[in-house]
Amino acid sequence: MQKWRKRQINRTQTCCGRACSSRHLSAFAPALTRLTRHQHDDWILDEDTKALHFLQPDLVLFTGDYGNENVQLVKSISDLQFPKAAILGNHDCWRTHQFSEKKVDRVRLQLASLGEQHVGYQCLDFPTIKLSVVGGRPFSCGGDRLFRPKLLSQRYGVDDMAGSARKIYDAATAAPEEHSVILLAHNGPTGLGSRIDDICGRDWVAGGGDHGDPDLEQAISDLQRETGVSIPLVVFGHMHKSLAYGGGLRKMIAFGANNQTIYLNGAVVPRVKPAEAMNPSTISTSERDELQESASVGPMSRAFTTVDLFDGTVEKISEVWVLVSGAQAELEEETVLYKRPCEHM
C-alpha cells in the first residue's frame, strides 16, 4: 500500500497511459464506534460537507449504522447537497423489532428522511454518470439469520434468505442496460474468507469464521451467471477495520473471480479524529480567527474511502483523511488500497 501525506487531489488522472476524467465516489460509514458514545462526532453535516467539497465526488455512498436509531443524524445526511445513496444497518433499528400501528417509530422516520435515497432492495439510477446503485438487505447484522425479520417481512415481504436474494437480484436487473451497477449493503457477502482479519471475518472470537450475508452472495452469483449486469464494485461496512480480538487491522478489499468485481469495506471506525498538532507560527491571522470561530468543532480529520471508476472499471481505491479547519479543508493523508494494473499493450 502506498501512503501520501498533505497533497492535492488531481481529478484528471492517467489510466494506464491514457488521460481520463474518472467518476469519483466516496464511501464511508459514519457509524457507532466501539470507542466512544459520542455518535455526533462521526458525522457533522457542515464539517463533512467542507471535506466533500474538497474531494468533489460524483456520488456519496453511506453504508449504515449511523447511531442507535439516530433520526437527527440521518436527517442531516438527507440534507447533504451531493448525489447520494444510503442503506440502514442493524444499529439503525436497534430498539425497533416491528413496525407499530399506533405510533411512528424511529425506523420509519429514518426511512422517510432518506426517501428514495435509501436503496434497500431498490435500484437508484444516476444517468449522468451511467451508474445504478442497488441496495442489499437493510438492517443486516451478518451471519446466516435474518436480523429484525418482522421489519423485513412487514416492509419488504421478505421472510427468508432465498426471498432476500431474489429481491436484490430483481432490483439489479432493473438497472438500465448501459449502466454499471454498484451494490451497496450494510454487510458484505459470504465467500470472502473466514479468517479473523478477512473482509467479513468474525473478529470477536479466536477461531474467526465467515460472517458475511449469504443472500448477498447468492444474488451476486445468480446475476453473474444468468445476466449481463456489470458489477464492478460491492460496497459495505459493518465489520470495523480495527479488529476486536487480538488487535491488528482487517483486510478492507477483496476480489471476485477474474477480478471482475471488487469488494470494498468502508467501515473505518472511528472516522473522525483530532487534527495533528498544528504549529502556531505557520497559521495566519485570518486562519487563527477562523479556528477561534469554529472552536466548538475544532480542527478534525475525517475519513473517507474514495473510488475512481472509468468506463465501468475500478481504477483506484484510497482511504483518505481530510483535515477540516475552519472554512479550510485539505488532504492530510492518503493510503492507496488498490490501483488497477496496466495491461500489456
| Alpha-carbon span 72 to 51, nearest angstrom | 20
Q: Which of 5-19, 169-183, 233-247 has the lowest mean pLDDT?
A: 5-19
Grid coordinates of 229: 449486469
Please report which confidence band the pLDDT of residue 22 belongs to, taking 50, 70 and 90 as the band edges. Answer: low
CA 275 from chain centre, in angstroms, equals 23
| Alpha-carbon span 181 to 328, nearest angstrom | 34
User: What pLDDT, on a 0 to 100 scale, did the predictor assign at position 295?
Assistant: 39
Please report which confidence band the pLDDT of residue 17 belongs to, taking 50, 70 and 90 as the band edges. Answer: very low
Mean of pLDDT over the chain: 85
Q: Would you say residue 238 has pLDDT above 60?
A: yes
Pairing of the two strands 300-310 and 313-325: antiparallel
| Alpha-carbon span 20 to 310, nearest angstrom | 7
- Decide which of 296 and 166 is more confident: 166
Is the Cα torsion angle 247, 253, 259, 261 positive or negative in sign? positive
Of 319, 314, 315, nearest in space to 252 by CA:
319
Q: Would you say residue 23 has pLDDT above 80?
A: no
| Alpha-carbon span 219 to 84, nearest angstrom | 23
Q: Would you say residue 39 has pLDDT above 60?
A: no
User: What pLDDT, on a 0 to 100 scale, did the predictor assign at position 102?
Assistant: 86
Q: What are the pLDDT digits (tens) for 269-291? A: 888 999 864 444 444 545 444 44
User: What pLDDT, on a 0 to 100 scale, did the predictor assign at position 280?
Assistant: 40
Q: What are the pLDDT digits (tens) for 56-74? A: 999 999 999 999 999 999 9
Strand partners, 15: 18
Name the CA dihedral angle for 94, 97, 103, 105, rounded to a multiple of 10 degrees. Answer: 30
Burial 123-134 (b: 16+ CB within 10 A, else e): bbbbeebebbbb
Q: 22-311+321-328: which CATH topology?
A: Purple Acid Phosphatase; chain A, domain 2 (3.60.21)
| Alpha-carbon span 126 to 55, nearest angstrom | 19
Distances (CA, A) of 281 to 207, 285, 288, 291: 51, 10, 10, 14
Q: Peptide bond before 270: cis, by omega within 30 degrees of 0?
A: yes
pTM: 0.87
DSSP string over 147-164: SSHHHHHHHH---SHHHH
User: What pLDDT, on a 0 to 100 scale, did the predictor assign at position 206?
Assistant: 86
Of 271, 265, 150, 273, nearest in space to 213 by CA:
265
- Rounded to 5 degrees, φ, ψ at 22 are -85, 160
